Amino acid sequence: MRYPKLRELKEAIKALFKGPYTSKYPYQPIKTYERFRGRPYFHKDDCTGCAACVQVCPTDALKFRDELSNGVSKRVLTVHWDVCIFCGQCQANCLTQKGIILSNEFDFATTEKREDLKNTIEKELVLCECCGEVIVPLDQYSWVANKLGSLCFSNASLLLFYLRNLGVALKESVSAVKNRSLSRASRIKILCPSCRREAVLKS
């Protein structure tokens, strides 16, 4: 019969007084590490709706769709937790670094519908004042204008958007100008790249 090593005997005696090494989860919450990667959440105030996170998601857990109906235009962004692998690419590639953040939550098992395992936000869209096509979300335009500062005056669309936010330029209804022919004056409008190129060529 082989006798146990002194080191193993020492650990066994220590365990008798200290108790088990395992945690008491699920009866008590677990304290996660500072850099733990749990379920991601959108932060509406910091997210610009640019959908950069959607482009880099390796599992297609992030999706977006643009809805244009009854004069209301919005971008709906959704993260599906049941597909997410918590890699952190969405947070690492976020435009503002705070639009989508991984939390410390890891326990979201449920007996309810799988479709409920998601987080969704909506963002207003900026539309082309000539053709009505989607350009970017409103918050993304604001973020770019604020980031550029006085340099935004070199871009006609950004300039007009910035002045409208200050309340010194009138907002023209997209429905009123849709399908209107482009002219030289059209260059001072919020236009999509295609319409701007055509307006510049015609002028």
Tens-digit pLDDT string for the chain (203 aa):
566 677 888 888 888 888 777 788 878 888 888 888 999 999 999 999 999 999 999 999 999 999 987 778 999 999 999 899 999 999 999 999 999 999 998 887 777 787 888 999 999 998 888 888 888 999 998 899 888 888 888 887 888 887 877 776 556 655 444 555 666 667 778 888 888 888 877 76
107 & 136 share domain: no
38 & 118 share domain: yes
In a domain, 151, yes or no: yes
88 & 156 share domain: no
- At residue 29, the pLDDT reads 82
- At residue 193, the pLDDT reads 84
119 & 139 share domain: no
- At residue 185, the pLDDT reads 67
In a domain, 191, yes or no: yes
Q: Omega of the bond prior to 26 within 30 degrees of 0, cis? A: yes
Distance separating alpha carbons of residues 127 and 10, to the nearest angstrom: 72
- At residue 171, the pLDDT reads 64
Q: Which of 94, 125, 156 is the last residue before a domain boundary?
A: 125
Q: Which of 103, 125, 147 is the last residue before a domain boundary?
A: 125
104 & 151 share domain: no
50 & 117 share domain: yes
- At residue 175, the pLDDT reads 47
Q: Which residues pair with 78 in a beta bridge?
A: 63, 120
65 & 101 share domain: yes
- At residue 89, the pLDDT reads 95
Distance separating alpha carbons of residues 108 and 89, to the nearest angstrom: 21
- Tally of structural domains, the chain: 2
What does the block give as tokens for 71?
A: 């004069």
Domain of residue 90, residue span: 34-125
Closest CA to 119 of 68, 85, 67, 76: 76
Task: Enter the pTM of the model.
Answer: 0.76
Instruction: Check residue 189 and report its DSSP letter.
Output: S
154 & 121 share domain: no
Q: Which of 87, 103, 125 is the last residue before a domain boundary?
A: 125
- At residue 18, the pLDDT reads 81
